[in-house]
Chain A
Amino acid sequence: MIAMIDLLLIFRILVFPGFTFILFLALFCEWIDRKLEARIQNRVGPIVAGPGGILQPLADFIKLLTKEDIEPRDTKKLVFRFAPLAAFTIMIFAMCFLPIDGASVLSSGTSIAESGFNGDLIIILAFATIANFLLFLAGWASANPYGTISSARVLTQFLGYDIPLYIIALTPAFIAGSLSIGVIAAGVPYILLAPWAFVLFIITMQAELEKGPFDVPHSESELVGGLETEYTGAKLAFLHLTRDVQVVFGSALVVTLFLGGPSGPVFFGLDWLFHTIWFVLKLIVVVAISAYITNVFARLRIDQVLTGNWKILLPAALLSLMLTITLVTWVYHPFGIGV
């Protein structure tokens, strides 16, 4: 009996909804991102690799894996080798806490609300921060002026934007009355109860993922390849994949906190299948919103990014939290809404 459970757990971690599923989900989301970007720019986008170019990210990934791996002389070898891999591992691990098929990967709870433990919201936000820090180390160790500048910008940006991100992520936690992701995802979609927090969270997420108008650390035409400049081969492949998984993680966090996660109508007793379908559909919507913001707005300067963080987004996040607590205490909970 114990062996059976272990086999199920191993399957959940390695295949579905764990490593393999998240990997292909990340590549799929990159394809959606590139396709939308191309359509917004009146182009076609990748179309030759697979139907509609859907295998393009996979082709890029395999190609990078098979390229020669160059290590320039002045790099800090240990960090240079392991930072991309460690960042990727931590992002995948953080994804495992999200209730993709109605339960988090590491649990076998029967309902969405039981799929986590109290406080795992804080843990996955911390994982996201650690992954960003590892990306900073990766750029710093590559002994390249462009990589160094890009790393410094990554550090400046994510240290600042983490604060409003954590504060706004508390909004759904306050309404649900729990820090467990499962309980938050099992409630009504909190976008209905706190739409202002949803808008703020999307903006903060763009900055945290270094996308959209906040892509100062990667600014092409200024910083060559950003912190990836010196990376080749498999290391570059994993840096790219880390970016993809980060985008999926950010979008999945928005889905879980504000759009009700995997909740939705379930038929034929196939709970896990329909939960996955709802989760992925909501994920695609958020990825599309994110891609739209990225392509419509022009890049901010680094000083504007910092001003926007400390002078606008942080006060706005605090105001949002005050509003939420007021509403929760005197409106939502007394009338039994969103509990």
Chain B
Amino acid sequence: MADAKTWARVKSPWVLHFNSGACNGCDIEIVALLTPKYDIERFGIKLEPSPRHADVLLATGCVTHQCAERLKRVYDQMPQPKFVVAIGACACSGSVFEGNYNVVGGVDKVIPVTAYIPGCPPRPEAIIDGVLKLLSTISTPPKKEKQVQAHRAEPALAEVKQNGKQ
């Protein structure tokens, strides 16, 4: 039974795309995945419109203060087990916007991230590779790492809330 469960999860990851303040470059590359050239449905990956249906959150952008709480809320709406892929240099670390007055800098400051795909923007091949590497880890999820990141997320959100009040 457990094998069937893992098999089904690996073969059928439905993704949700969330833009937390990206320049639309990464988003266009994500949309390119659905086109005939890359056709990500081969792997059973479907772009779902509702966070309630999704297994994987494809997060792009450097996470502005406005977006941080929305990103957290979208993440909370997803049912377990859920995974986050940070796509693009901005989503991984904040990139050139790191330290800007209106930017949190990096998706992993708000929600736990499972896979990072750097690039500005990353090629569609790189995104497919990253998602497939994520799928290969689903059978043995790195639990400790995830907990550490989740712990890290709390102070960042508190900071975001404080900034929002000011």
A224 CA to B115 CA, complexed, in Å = 26
A44-B39, A46-B42, A224-B50 are contacts. A62–B5 as well, Cβ < 8 Å? yes
- Whether B137 is near chain A, meaning CB under 8 Å from some CB there, is no
* Residues on the B chain within 8 Å of A233, using CB: 79
A20 CA to B4 CA, complexed, in Å = 18
Closest Cβ of chain B: how far from A67's Cβ, in Å? 5
A-binding residues in B (CB < 8 A): 4-5, 7-9, 11-12, 36, 39, 41-44, 48-50, 52-53, 55, 77, 79-81
* CB <8 Å contact, A49 and B53: no
* CB <8 Å contact, A63 and B53: no
* CB <8 Å contact, A60 and B12: yes
The residue on A at minimum CB distance from B10 is: A59
A41 CA to B49 CA, complexed, in Å = 20
* CB <8 Å contact, A63 and B8: yes
* CB <8 Å contact, A59 and B52: no
A231 CA to B54 CA, complexed, in Å = 11
* Residues on the B chain within 8 Å of A221, using CB: 49
* Residues on the A chain within 8 Å of B81, using CB: 67-68
The residue on A at minimum CB distance from B80 is: A68
* Residues on the B chain within 8 Å of A266, using CB: none
Interface size on A, residues (CB 8 A): 36
* Residues on the B chain within 8 Å of A53, using CB: 42, 44
- Whether A43 is near chain B, meaning CB under 8 Å from some CB there, is yes
Closest Cβ of chain A: how far from B14's Cβ, in Å? 8
A44 CA to B44 CA, complexed, in Å = 11
Closest Cβ of chain B: how far from A27's Cβ, in Å? 12
* CB <8 Å contact, B80 and A228: no
A70 CA to B76 CA, complexed, in Å = 11
Task: Find residues 182-231 in chain A having any chain B CB closer than 8 Å to their own CB.
Answer: 220-221, 224-225, 228-231
A55-B11, A56-B12 are contacts. A228–B42 as well, Cβ < 8 Å? no
